[in-house]
Amino acid sequence: MPLTDALRDDILASVPSLRAFAISLSGNGDRADDLVQETLLRALANIDSFQPGSNLPAWLFTILRNLFRSDYRKRRREVEDADGSYAKTLKTQPAQNAHLEFEEFRAALDKLPQDQREALILVGASGFSYEDAAAICGCAVGTIKSRVNRARSKLSALLYVDGAEDFGPDDTVRAVIGGSGG
């Protein structure tokens, strides 16, 4: 369809969540914005292939996800946010404890296999249905469901059970309350 003003507005309205998705995937604010820019350029160049009335955010997310994956294959992840550039993208610095917890969460998220991470983000944060997430990732709905479940289990183990199967509830509770345990 032609690029109407209404469509322009709709694309613009998708930018904040596209950025959040890109940052969640790449873990790097600068690179995420490059991804978003490339996504927008590609979307605008191919706007006539967008079906009016279909899900615009899902279409844009699909473009971004594919760009990220082809880019990822090329250069793998570079230094993992060594200078805290992700934290710098936040307008307000979280309080110290919250910040620590945030960094731990971010680090655990980075340890997930890419398939699981993107599925969890799409369903758990972007708010897409399993069906939309499956369309974005080009796989079956059941596959998305199992990826999301595995991602949750793994995060839970990384953050709260510390990877051990034989930790008692006391340790779990301590980890939840104490964070670093210090």
Partner 1 sequence: MKDVKSQASKNAAPGKQGGLNAEIQSRIGHQLRAMYDDVVRQGVPDRFAELIRKLDVPQPDPQLGDTGDQAVKNEGRD
Return residues touching partner 1 (CB under 8 A): 2-3, 8, 11-12, 15-17, 19-21, 23-24, 33, 36-37, 40-41, 44-45, 47-48, 89-91, 101-102, 105-106, 109, 120-121, 124-126, 149, 152-153, 155-156, 159-161, 164-169, 172, 176
Q: What are phi and psi of 106, to 5 degrees?
A: -60, -45
Residue (74 or 118) nearer to partner 1, CB: 118
> How far, rounded to the nearest angstrom, does the alpha carbon of residue 134 sit from its chain's CA centroid?
15
HSE (CB half, 13 Å, CA atoms) of 119? Answer: 24
Report which residue type is found at 78.
Answer: E
Question: Nearest approach, Cβ of 78 to partner 1 (angstroms)?
Answer: 20
Question: Nearest approach, Cβ of 151 to partner 1 (angstroms)?
Answer: 9
Residue (62 or 117) nearer to partner 1, CB: 117
Question: Nearest approach, Cβ of 80 to partner 1 (angstroms)?
Answer: 16
Burial track 88-109 (b if 16+ CB lie within 10 A, e otherwise): eeeeeeeeeeeeeeeeeebebb
Residue (4 or 73) nearer to partner 1, CB: 4
* Spatial CA neighbour of 35 closest among 6, 9, 66, 74: 66
Question: Nearest approach, Cβ of 120 to partner 1 (angstroms)?
Answer: 7
Residue (45 or 79) nearer to partner 1, CB: 45
Residue (102 or 130) nearer to partner 1, CB: 102
What is the C-alpha to C-alpha distance for residues 168 and 177, in angstroms, rounded to an integer? 15
What is the C-alpha to C-alpha distance for residues 27 and 106, in angstroms, rounded to an integer? 8
